[in-house]
Amino acid sequence: MKKIFVLLLISGLVSPAFCQDDLMDLLEDDAPKNERVTSTFKSTRLINGHTTETRTQGVLEFIIGHRFGRLNEGGENLWGLDFAQIRLGLEYGVSDNLNIGIGRSGVDKTFDLFAKYKFLRQSTSVPVSAALFVSGARRADSAFENLLEGQGIPFEGKYRNAYTYQLLIARKITSALSLQVVPTIIHRNYVATSTEPNDLLALGLGGRYKITNRVTINAEYIPTLNQENDNFKNAIAIGIDLETGGHVFQLHLTNAQRLQERGFIGETTGNFFDGDIHFGFNVSRVFNVAVKQNIRR
Amino acid sequence: MLIPLISYSQKFKSDSSYVRFFSEAPLENIEAVNSKAVSIIDLSNGNFVFSIPVNQFHFDKSLMEEHFNENYLETEKYPKAIFKGSFKPSSLVDGAQTVTASGDFNIHGQTRPVNIEGTLTKSDNQVLVKATFTIKIVEYKIKIPKAVFYNIAEEVEVTVYFEYKEL
């Protein structure tokens, strides 16, 4: 018995010392199998619309959306830069999947509230990420009441409200390319003419292509499906995202000047191909107000 | 006769691990931990390897974690950090002893020779390894732009800890 033990020891000693790769082979099986896909988009906004991205629990984001006037206004108005519409927003990660936000846009003095719930995350076994988005917007301008009264329409407070429901579905196809489709319903309590449906249907289409780790090109097109008023155009936008740590700068060109779903999906009047294009940007800054302890010690 | 002899080994495989890195900078200290690393150690010849799935590092700030994966370590392209080497002295006694592992560390697709000093504790059927060392991120071509929000040190301290069971 002792002899065998000695033999065993010797065999251990003389066994080749260059078998680190064999050891590596023994480790290969341990790779995590079902990995989540992250960073489908750099921001919670594609350009005008939302993405499936959510801020994680305890993260507060301050987001400023800015759309200048039209490029084809010419040099006198500095190609639209003399005028701007702005939306100020605050958004918060209630959980990693649930975000809520408030915002206020200059157009029609509109306040909005939204909730976005990401119920599906793309992973090795799940092909897409998906989120539900619900928002309510209320135009608070006094001019609206006067406008209706002037037309002999008895004003009701509910006419100020519109509601948006979206299903956002996105897939990160490669590390560079992500695409998204967004079936949308916007319910407007008041519309100006009978050619504008109270329940407006639209299908948002968009994507991003990553040029470098910190720069992406984005495009977004939101055709409406039952809009009969020719004055209203489908929102088109192209842009770039520049990420610098805690900030993402989004610069874009779009025919939509309004910054709330009801506005840019349902009330865009610019014809992109006639040069009714607005330069705009979104700037966001995140704050970790209630840091979740990801690190378990 | 030889087959049973060869199959006898002194290979130990980790069943528990902890990897931490720590970057100390004036603006902000950055720390991340990873419990998914795996390692094998062969006491018969001193061979020692470990593999760290880099995208399993967890940070307190989720956005920092995203940037770590997307921008700095590019973990889709370079999913693992791997050390392959051997330690000395290879003759071990029961109890704790200081050992030095020499080998190649591959991080972010770049391989650099490193010497890691650590403590190896051996008992009847268990081995523990703990080591703390620094790596210079520039050596692994991890690019940190000058104007970043996070102030990241040029050297980060890495701690690895493995508990092994005989294989």
Cβ of residue A36 closer than 8 Å to a chain B Cβ = no
What letter represents residue A67's amino acid?
R
Q: How far is A12 from chain B (nearest CA, A)?
A: 5
ipTM here: 0.76
Contact list in B for residue A213 (CB cut-off 8 A) is 70-71, 74
User: Residue B49 and residue A247: Cβ atoms within 8 Å?
Assistant: no
pLDDT tens column, A215-262:
999 999 999 999 999 999 999 999 999 988 667 899 999 999 999 999
Q: How far is A83 from chain B (nearest CA, A)?
A: 31
Contact list in A for residue B11 (CB cut-off 8 A) is 23, 26
Q: Where are the domains of chain B?
A: 11-166
Neighbour tally for B94: CB within 10 Å: 9
What letter represents residue B98's amino acid?
T
Using the structure block, give the residue that is written with the tokens 């301050």: A62
pLDDT tens column, A65-103:
999 999 888 888 898 888 899 999 999 999 999 999 999
Cβ of residue B100 closer than 8 Å to a chain A Cβ = no
| pLDDT at residue B150 is higher than 80 | no
User: Residue B47 and residue A19: Cβ atoms within 8 Å?
Assistant: yes
Q: Which pLDDT band, with edges at 50, 70 and 90, does A297 fall under?
A: very low
Nearest-by-Cβ selection for A247 from B40, B53, B149: B149
A194 phi, psi to nearest 5 deg: -70, -10
Contact list in B for residue A23 (CB cut-off 8 A) is 11, 40, 42, 47, 49, 84
Residue B32: its pLDDT value, please? 94
Contact list in A for residue B47 (CB cut-off 8 A) is 17, 19-20, 23
A5, containing H or E segment? helix A2-14
Contact list in A for residue B148 (CB cut-off 8 A) is 244-245
CATH of the domain spanning B11-166, picked from 3.40.50.150, 3.65.10.10, 3.40.50.300, 2.40.128.110: 2.40.128.110
Q: How many residues does chain B have?
A: 167
Written as one string, the DSSP assignment of chain B is -HHHHHH---EEEEEEEEEEEEE--SS--EEEEES--EEEEETTTTEEEEEEEGGG-EESSHHHHHHIIIIIS-TTTS-EEEEEEEEE-----SEEEEEEEEEEEEETTEEEEEEEEEEEEE-SSEEEEEEEEEEEGGGGT----SS-SS---SEEEEEEEEEEEE-
pTM for this predicted structure = 0.84
| pLDDT at residue A110 is higher than 80 | yes
Q: What residues of chain A, 96 to 155, have a C-beta less than 8 Å from chain B?
A: 96
pLDDT tens column, A36-72:
888 999 999 999 999 999 999 999 999 999 999 998 8
Q: Which pLDDT band, with edges at 50, 70 and 90, does B71 fall under?
A: confident
